[in-house]
Amino acid sequence: MTTLEEHALAPADDPRRYRRSLGCFPTGITVMTAAHGGTRVGVTANSFASVSLEPPLVLWALRADSPSLPVFRHAGHFTVNVLAWHQEDLSRRFATPADDKFAGLNVTEGWGGAPLLDGCAARFETRLAHQFTSGDHVLLVGEVLRYNNFHREPLVFVRGGHRWLDQPGIG
Ligand SMILES: Cc1cc2nc3c(=O)[nH]c(=O)nc-3n(C[C@H](O)[C@H](O)[C@H](O)COP(=O)(O)O)c2cc1C
């Protein structure tokens, strides 16, 4: 009998295979932004989730050794820029370490000075409500203060690649 199912593994058995398996779960892609003391940071993140509606809380996880973490911690606000289908270049830009990831980009300032990216599918401006270290990441929970839905189709990330939905009129 042929089957595509495999026997269960422990994550430590084969870390690359474990990461590949996590990649079976499709997500949207966000660029999280914040500013503090004249420094702007932006990080591509697909760990975004809505936690609570009342109050409106969202979370994401940032690598604990990220050079951007001190700014996210001290800024007190962060903005979730949900990327639209045509923004793969921004996904790659903000996933690549650089002194100024915003160089040459047209951005405006949002709540707490957090950079707002143009052309997104949606945007959520938040106040940092909680932070917890969990393993090698820090969970940042934000209370949504205001948001925009620009009704553009989202960029999707699955199995390590950027994709887009083919149904028109999402959202
Ligand atoms: C699609 C995608 C999703 C990502 N999601 C996360 C994430 O949720 N958390 C995280 O810490 N890094 C994530 N990364 C990696 C960061 O974007 C990357 O490490 C970036 O350089 C971090 O910014 P920094 O160099 O300022 O720390 C993701 C990368 C990609 C391409």
Q: What is the pLDDT of residues 97-123, one digit of tens each?
A: 999 999 999 999 999 999 999 999 999
User: How far apart are the C-alpha atoms of 40 and 24, rounded to whole Å?
Assistant: 32
d(CA 23, ligand 1 centre) in Å: 14
DSSP single-letter state for residue 83: P
d(CA 67, ligand 1 centre) in Å: 11
DSSP single-letter state for residue 84: B
- Measured by CA distance, the residue closest to atom 5 of ligand 1 is 45
User: Is the model's pLDDT at 22 over the cut of 60?
Assistant: yes
User: Is the model's pLDDT at 1 over the cut of 60?
Assistant: no
* Average pLDDT of the segment spanning 51-60: 98
Asked if residues 137 and 46 have their Cβ atoms less than 8 Å apart, the reply is no
Looking at residue 116, its pLDDT comes to: 98
d(CA 96, ligand 1 centre) in Å: 8
- Measured by CA distance, the residue closest to atom 18 of ligand 1 is 95
* Average pLDDT of the segment spanning 58-66: 98
* Average pLDDT of the segment spanning 120-131: 98
User: Is the model's pLDDT at 3 over the cut of 80?
Assistant: no
d(CA 11, ligand 1 centre) in Å: 20
- The answer to whether the bond into 168 is cis (omega within 30° of 0) is no
User: How far apart are the C-alpha atoms of 85 and 159, rounded to whole Å?
Assistant: 17
Residues with CB under 6 A from ligand 1: 29, 43-47, 60-63, 66-68, 91, 94-97, 157
CATH of the structural domain 29-155, one choice from 3.40.50.20, 2.40.160.40, 2.30.110.10, 3.30.410.40: 2.30.110.10
Domain assignments of the chain as residue spans, ordered by start: 29-155
